[in-house]
Chains A and B, each alone.
Chain A
Amino acid sequence: QKEVEQNSGPLSVPEGAIASLNCTYSDQGSQSFFWYRQYSGKSPELIMFIYSNGDKEDGRFTAQLNKASQYVSLLIRDSQPSDSATYLCAVNPGRDAGGTSYGKLTFGQGTILTVHP
């Protein structure tokens, strides 16, 4: 069973702080990694993806990937109350035996983030 694990939280941070969300995965061959934000009662929204070791920054968001440790994280700088949501980590195993890239994802259970004023 290929697994993606997240701390379910809730993670509570004060407004303006850095929120750090973590995810580990079991399939060593995983190729690409996604972070989705899901507000209560709404569908997931893609906010970041990363495929190379290291950091990828987009505005206040930074995704970090360490394939050797099978670990991916999301940092949210200057956290705002509007960032309060569930953050889902998803992993794509990559190309199949025929070399076709496909989009099938395995999701973690999500981390609830609360940013308080």
Chain B
Amino acid sequence: DGGITQSPKYLFRKEGQNVTLSCEQNLNHDAMYWYRQDPGQGLRLIYYSQIVNDFQKGDIAEGYSVSREKKESFPLTVTSAQKNPTAFYLCASSRTSGSYNEQFFGPGTRLTVL
């Protein structure tokens, strides 16, 4: 089955800790994205990557970091510099070669700061 997996499903962080959220896809998509969703809000783009070893900041990159060492994987680290990290984090992927390149989402990770 092709798809996007995210782990863990739930994550609890203490103040001052860095945590890493995993995102893996086997859709052979070139592009991957990280979004943050707060209650009652739409999706806000954190980082995106269109090719291995390259990524760009989205609208709310401060306090986050990413890497793209493999086509299939795009982990997101939430650093202690992110002052309000409690949110639902969504990873997505898409092609870059077609005309419309619709994005498909993983199941999400819900992060809570204790």
* Chain A interface residues (CB < 8 Å from chain B): 4, 6, 8, 32, 34, 36, 42-46, 49, 51, 88, 90, 92, 100-105, 107-110
Contacts and interface: CB of A to CB of B under 8 A. Distances in A.
Interface string B80-114: 00000000001000111111111111111000000
Contacts of A103: 31, 33, 94-96, 101-103
Interface of B: 31, 33, 35, 40-45, 48, 50, 90, 94-108
A62 to B, nearest CB: 18
A105 B35 CA distance: 11
B96 A109 contact: no
B41 to A, nearest CB: 6
B103 A8 contact: no
14 contacts: A42-B107, A44-B43, A44-B90, A46-B103, A49-B102, A88-B42, A92-B100, A92-B101, A101-B97, A101-B99, A101-B100, A102-B96, A105-B45, A107-B43
A100 B94 CA distance: 14
B23 to A, nearest CB: 12
A102 B50 CA distance: 8
Residue of B41, B94, B102 with highest tally of chain A CB at under 10 A = B102
A104 B96 contact: no
